[in-house]
Amino acid sequence: MSTCAVLEKIPAVTEGSKTYHNFINGQWVPAKSGKTFENHNPANPSDVIGTFPASGPEDVDAAVAAAKAAYITWRLVPAPKRGEMLFKAGQLLAERKEELAQAMTREMGKVIAETRGDVQEAIDMAFYAAGEGRRLFGQTTPSELKNKWCMTTRNPLGVCGLITPWNFPMAIPSWKIMPALIAGNTLVIKPASDTPLSTLKLIEILAEAGIPKGVINMVTGSGSTVGTPLMTHKDVRLISFTGSCEVGQTVNETCAPTFKRVSLEMGGKNAAIVMPDANLELAVDGLIWGAFGTSGQRCTATSRVIVHKDVHAKVREMMLAKMKTLKLGYGLDAGINVGPVVNEAAMTKILEYIEIGKKDGAQLIAGGTRDTDAGSGWFVQPTLFDNVTRTMRIAQEEIFGPVTAIIPVGSLEEAIDVANDIDFGLSTAIYTKDVNAAFTALRDLDAGITYVNAPTIGAEVHLPFGGTKNTGNGHREAAETSLDIFTEWKTCYVDYSDSLQKAQIED
């Protein structure tokens, strides 16, 4: 029996499909091979959203060549002028927010409120990066020698390769594109094959905002035919990747022989701790949103609920009651809370993990199956396991779906220990009214992000985003820290003494 109430089924016939192209050197062009692939609505797989180029190495070569040529002049455009273009892009995104959000829901399945948020992140990032055009601060510092000036500046890298995922198909590309551009780089982006249209619309807007031809290029296709040639191309200076740990390891190894800079944002197995003194209504609202927002398809999703045994039964009861109010269906329909997962392979993987949880002895108390009542798409019921132990696979491995696990503990110290006992370190949360417990968690949770009395999801663009351990390789996206990915520091000395001075050398 489904844990979710269902609204009307999605219509059998939706919008028509279109043919789209790569964006190379300011022109929309098909793949040189002429090959294409179809993009389908995950809520209704018979709805073909569009046909896109199944590109190959020759298309990557053309895009990189365009970016390399454009870099010669783009790097010399004053950063405030680059910022004005990004600000214009932000304005265009804001004007078209609803249109873009509706197209994104159809493409990747998130409910309309969430796709509006996805577009809003791109708006926020455009405006934030635009402001950095009048900052890009370096430092000045005294010299140890007389009549000598010392300073540092940020310089662009060159051609950047961006490989982005499907779950935030406009927000995450904006996290990479906007800081890359404001720093003076040019780029080639390969969007996820499940969501090329959302990224394409972002590229359209950037071009309309005045970004010169060749500065931004988009090539669609598979990881093997587009991603690998981008990673191995001699003229690409950096690869910024967001996706799974397995693919991220391959990215790292592929780029290593040519010493490319690599930025990796990968998996998470995020925990929310609930202490006995917590506001339980607030906590449960946050747990449900964190676990089932985007159908659990977030790297920051709350996939572990670490609950003190004194409130374990109460939290379980409240979560079950809240889950019964969720409405599963097509994200453009009114009142829907949970959409489909992105494709059939994702659905199959999620259902396999549910079976693994049951076999390992976890208690399935809600959901657990595909939901065919919601429509013909890839719908998985929001699923809750109880009495999970820290070593079970569903407590250790990233499922990337609407599945969360309750793990009872006896103390704050045990809760933190359990939270840290994984290979990832992205996002964490604690619900408590005890300031001492809150600050202990802020200090001791091994993660790039910790929330107090808030869900594990909900990043803001002016703060660093990233994690520890297998979540990434030390870089942070968004905020000023994103500039560290896309710039090189240069140290500059100006000696105006009109004599030979030797640092550290005594005459």
Please give the structure tokens belonging to residue 483.
């500039």
- Write down the residue that tokens 């927002």 correspond to: 293
Active site residues: 265, 299
Got the DSSP string for 177-199?
HHHHHHTT-EEEEE--TT-HHHH
Say if residues 4 and 371 touch (Cβ distance below 8 Å): yes
End-to-end C-alpha distance for the chain, whole angstroms: 87
Say if residues 158 and 237 touch (Cβ distance below 8 Å): yes
Beta pairing, strands 236-242 & 363-366: unpaired
CA 189-190-193 angle, 5° bins:
150
Cα separation of 462 and 436, whole Å? 27
Please give the structure tokens belonging to residue 327.
């409405």
Residue 397: CB atoms within 10 Å: 16
Positive or negative torsion for Cα 77, 83, 88, 94: positive
Going by C-beta distance under 8 Å and a sequence separation of 6 or more, which residues neighbour residue 7?
327, 329, 333, 334, 335, 336
Conformational region of residue 34, where left means phi above 0, alpha means psi within -120 to 50, and beta covers everything else: left
